[in-house]
């Protein structure tokens, strides 16, 4: 079986000591490819460096909604330059976060728009972060959907069935992380059932959101199998079915070789 972790943050400080071993553990576990997501300009540069060092690592570049308040003039232009580098396979993560509320919502909206415009211009998929802002996120996506189907993914999806349906209708993929394995999240598991197998992705969001039984510990790409196994069990299909489908979906969305 082969897996692709479509969302992790290998450049985070908690991996500085053992990033190499972490990637190796993932590959040994069948996680043949992983997408490391940049959150600031510096983080994107580190993500790209990792992608250029490891054959199994690909980079997604953008400015995270929680960090745009701290972005410097010119940072966005540098992101645009990085987005055409080899092994950059997507844009983000972008989106809206009303939980942390680190950046004014107007600024978050402006950057979300920028990422989506660039996505269409370069035909690169985008990665959406949405926290306590489902209505606003769907509204913004709908404005862009007027120009045609959206090529993107809702990362670590934890929204409602309605939000899932709206995103699917606009052509998007839904990616599930460790949260779907938590005992109390039965509702989220039910939502995952409504996602057609050809729109389903898996991720870790490592070092965050460790799946059961590693909850509370540092997460890593090798653990993506646990989340995938939970999705398979929920659907009543084999792990092989989910592995094959999610791998094919990730390859299609991010055009991975």
Least distance from Zn ion to the Cβ atom of residue 37, Å: 5
Question: 47: closest CA among 33, 62, 32, 69?
Answer: 62
Q: Residue 91 has which token pair? A: 């844009």
Nearer to Zn ion, 145 or 219 (CB): 219
Nearer to Zn ion, 11 or 134 (CB): 11
Least distance from Zn ion to the Cβ atom of residue 43, Å: 10
Least distance from Zn ion to the Cβ atom of residue 177, Å: 9
Nearer to Zn ion, 134 or 203 (CB): 203
Rounded Cα distance, 221 and 5, in Å: 6
Angstrom distances, CA of residue 103 to CA of 51, 93, 141: 29, 15, 19
Nearer to Zn ion, 5 or 205 (CB): 205
Rounded Cα distance, 8 and 37, in Å: 6
Least distance from Zn ion to the Cβ atom of residue 23, Å: 17
- Within 10 angstroms of residue 230's Cβ, the number of other Cβ atoms is 23
Which residues make up the interface to Zn ion (CB under 5 A)?
205
Nearer to Zn ion, 8 or 222 (CB): 8
Rounded Cα distance, 137 and 124, in Å: 19
Rounded Cα distance, 61 and 198, in Å: 25
Least distance from Zn ion to the Cβ atom of residue 240, Å: 27
Residue 132 sits at φ, ψ, to 5 deg, of 50, 40
């Amino acid at each position: 079986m082969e897996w692709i972790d479509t969302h992790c943050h290998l450049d985070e400080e908690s991996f500085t000591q053992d990033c190499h071993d972490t990637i190796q553990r993932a590959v040994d576990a069948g996680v043949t490819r992983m997408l490391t997501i940049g959150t600031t300009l510096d983080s994107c540069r580190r993500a790209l460096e990792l992608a250029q060092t490891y054959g199994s690592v690909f980079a997604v570049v953008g400015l995270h909604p929680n960090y745009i308040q701290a972005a410097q003039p010119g940072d966005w232009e540098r992101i645009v330059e990085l987005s055409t580098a080899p092994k950059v396979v997507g844009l983000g993560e972008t989106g809206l976060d009303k939980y942390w509320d680190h950046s004014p919502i107007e600024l978050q909206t402006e950057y979300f728009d920028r990422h989506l415009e660039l996505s269409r211009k370069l035909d690169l998929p985008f990665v959406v972060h949405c926290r306590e802002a489902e209505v606003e996120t769907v509204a913004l996506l709908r404005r862009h959907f007027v120009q045609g189907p959206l090529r993107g993914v809702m990362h670590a999806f934890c929204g409602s069935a309605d939000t899932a349906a709206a995103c699917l209708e606009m052509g998007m993929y839904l990616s599930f992380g460790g949260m779907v394995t938590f005992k109390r999240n039965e509702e989220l598991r039910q939502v995952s059932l409504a996602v057609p197998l050809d729109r389903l992705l898996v991720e870790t969001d490592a070092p965050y959101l460790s799946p059961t039984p590693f909850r509370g510990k540092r997460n890593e790409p090798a653990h993506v199998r646990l989340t995938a196994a939970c999705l398979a069990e929920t659907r009543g299909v084999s792990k092989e079915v989910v592995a094959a489908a999610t791998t094919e979906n990730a390859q299609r969305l991010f055009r991975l070789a």
